[in-house]
Amino acid sequence: MLREKIRITLEHHAGGAADASVVAEAVTSTWTQMADLLTPVIGTRGVNVILRRSLHLMRMECPWLLTSEEHGDSAALLACLKARLAGRNPGDALRAGHGLLINFTELLATLIGESLTERLLGPVWASPDPFSENEVEP
């Protein structure tokens, strides 16, 4: 079920774009939301370690995703990740981003448990309310 929530979230943020740079922005902004929610709980270093491990796990499926910045600072790593995703076709970028976020979430769940992972990251996967008062019909 979580895999589906991640897929739907990425597709929603990408807006069905036929442009890999939009997909790359959706992936990195989703990850940034996750990192913002997790940093108070596991710290910046914990978040970055899980991201690096998630990227490492993606190497068989998407070897083009790995970068030399893997051991550098997290801002450089995220910028490089965004550039790598933007340089692919939208389908490849979406699959890679989906896989990366799944790996990240599953690794987190093995460390802190599924229940806490779901509670902490629930706001990221929340479906947008089509009747939200913040949205105005055209």
Q: Flag whether 135 is in a domain.
A: no
42 part of a folded domain: yes
What DSSP string describes the chain? -HHHHHHHHHHHHHTT-S-HHHHHHHHHHHHHHHHHHHHHHHHHHHHHHHHHHHHHHTTTT-GGG--GGGGS-HHHHHHHHHHHHHTS-HHHHHHHHHHHHHHHHHHHHHHH-HHHHHHHHHHHHPPP-TT-TT----
Residue 66 has a pLDDT of 73
Instruction: Look up residue 34 and give its amino acid.
Output: M
> Is residue 134 one of the residues assigned to a domain?
no
Question: According to the per-residue pLDDT averaged within each range, which of 19-23, 72-76, 133-137 is highest?
Answer: 19-23
Structural domain includes residue 2: no
pLDDT in tens, 93-134: 999 999 999 999 999 999 999 999 999 999 998 655 443 333
Is 138 inside a domain boundary? no
Q: Do the domain assignments include residue 97?
A: yes
For 11-36, write each residue's pLDDT tens digit.
Answer: 888 877 678 999 999 999 999 999 99
Give the span between the Cα atoms of 44 and 89, in whole angstroms. 31
Q: What is the mean pLDDT of residues 59-84?
A: 80
CA distance 40 to 22: 28
Domain count along the chain: 1
- Among residues 95, 120, 123, 75, the alpha carbon closest in space to that of 26 is found at 95
User: Predicted confidence band at 71 (pLDDT cuts at 50, 70, 90)?
Assistant: low
Whether residue 35 contacts residue 104, with contact meaning beta carbons closer than 8 Å, is answered with no
pLDDT of 138 higher than 50: no
Q: Is residue 132 part of a domain?
A: no
Assigned domain for 118 exists: yes
Residue range(s) defining the domain that contains residue 26:
8-124
